[in-house]
């Protein structure tokens, strides 16, 4: 398993911030020269993405603080809070982009935007896809949910750039209305990405976890020699780490050392197969009248 590196995660967030500063400046500047509302919408999205990436960076920094008297489980959930902040920023921008594009339908259009806007959009999309690819791999290595949210934002921006390119090119063929339509699509993609990030972050903050993952956990524990039944299992996510509480039954005639060995084996197998480093095992004798979890 890869070792979680705080410096790697921080670097990924900083690269996103630098990329967004550069791309937003280029897009907004060129959008006025090329008279492209779609490119301007894309640039405004990147401008606010600076704030979203900054929130991710701050969240990563806070999550690295060690446990204290007020936070016995540490500060890992700061990552999910950062993801929520990023989703709120993205949603507000997406709605604003859609509203502005809608207003442009009632404004007189002088003509199609210049092709410079198309080439700039495509160039920026390629750069952003490279940032997405780097951030996504970094998120997998560090198992950082905040960085994973940043990567999703990067990918949506790359796709938005391709959409902007398509809209500007189409408008060259006597259909300038395609440009504001592309801007509305841009806003829709932004809102969809924001909702996805919000849904995942809020699910984790309310102690939600994938039922399929829970089933996998139960099967792993049941496969350990000496475990008779899994009586109960609860799990929650703290940042990029799963905390699992497991109650199992074993032969009531076993001594304490053998029961402890079984608990250790359960912990080792959870770590080996699922990367769970925080397993709390409670053992009961099989004769106890507990409800058995199926």
Span 44-89, pLDDT tens digits: 878 878 888 888 888 888 887 888 888 877 788 888 888 888 888 8
Q: Give the pLDDT score at 221.
A: 93
Q: Quick one: which H or E segment has residue 107?
A: none
Phi first, then psi: give them for residue 126, nearest 5 degrees.
-65, -45
Between residues 170 and 15, the one the model is more confident about: 15
> Which tokens hold the place of 31?
């959008």
Burial class of residue 257, CB neighbours in 10 A (0-12, 13-18, 19+): exposed
Q: Give the pLDDT score at 96.
A: 80
Look at residue 173 and give its three-state secondary structure: coil
Look at residue 66 and give its three-state secondary structure: coil
Q: Give the pLDDT score at 205.
A: 86
**What's the average model confidence in pLDDT over 92-121?**
76
Closest CA relative to residue 155, chosen from 132, 135, 178, 186: 132
220 to 197, 211, 214, 263, 272: CA distances (angstroms):
30, 14, 10, 13, 10
Place of tokens 């995660």: 9
Instruction: Give CA–CA dist 121/169, Å, rounded.
Output: 11
Per the CB < 8 A criterion, the answer to whether 62 and 80 are in contact is no
Helix locations, the chain, DSSP H: 6-34, 37-63, 78-104, 115-142, 145-171, 178-205, 211-222, 256-274
Q: Give the pLDDT score at 107.
A: 64
The gap from C-alpha 241 to its chain's centroid, in whole angstroms, comes to 14
All domains in the chain, ordered by first residue: 6-205 (1.20.1510.10), 211-285 (3.30.70.1350)
Per the CB < 8 A criterion, the answer to whether 232 and 247 are in contact is yes
Stretch among 7-11, 15-19, 245-249 having the lowest mean pLDDT: 7-11
Q: Give the pLDDT score at 293.
A: 52
């Amino acid at each position: 398993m890869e070792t979680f590196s705080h410096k790697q995660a921080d670097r990924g967030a900083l690269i996103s911030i630098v990329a967004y500063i550069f791309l937003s400046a280029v897009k907004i500047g060129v959008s006025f020269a090329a008279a492209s509302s779609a490119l301007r919408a894309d640039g405004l999205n990147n401008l606010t993405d600076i704030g979203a990436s900054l929130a991710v960076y701050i969240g990563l920094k806070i999550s690295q603080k060690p446990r204290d008297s007020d936070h016995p489980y540490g500060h890992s959930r700061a990552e999910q809070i950062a993801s929520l902040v990023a989703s709120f920023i993205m949603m507000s921008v997406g709605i604003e982009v859609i509203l502005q594009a809608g207003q442009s339908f009632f404004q007189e259009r002088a003509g199609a935007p210049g092709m410079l806007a198309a080439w700039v959009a495509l160039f920026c999309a390629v750069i952003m896809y490279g940032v997405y690819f780097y951030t996504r791999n970094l998120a997998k290595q560090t198992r950082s949910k905040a960085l994973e949210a940043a990567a999703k934002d990067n990918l949506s921006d790359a796709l938005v750039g391709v959409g902007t390119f398509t809209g500007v090119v189409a408008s060259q063929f006597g259909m300038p209305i395609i440009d504001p339509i592309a801007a509305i699509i841009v806003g829709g993609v932004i809102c969809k990405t924001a909702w996805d990030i919000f849904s995942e972050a809020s699910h984790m903050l309310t102690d939600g976890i994938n039922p399929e993952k829970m089933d996998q956990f139960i099967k792993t524990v049941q496969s350990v020699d000496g475990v008779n039944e899994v009586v109960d299992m609860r799990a929650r996510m703290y940042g990029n780490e799963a905390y699992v509480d497991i109650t199992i039954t074993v032969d009531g005639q076993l001594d304490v050392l053998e029961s402890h060995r079984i608990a250790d084996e359960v912990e080792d197998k959870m770590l080996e197969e699922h990367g769970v480093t925080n397993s709390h095992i409670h053992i009961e004798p099989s004769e106890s009248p507990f409800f058995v979890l199926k």
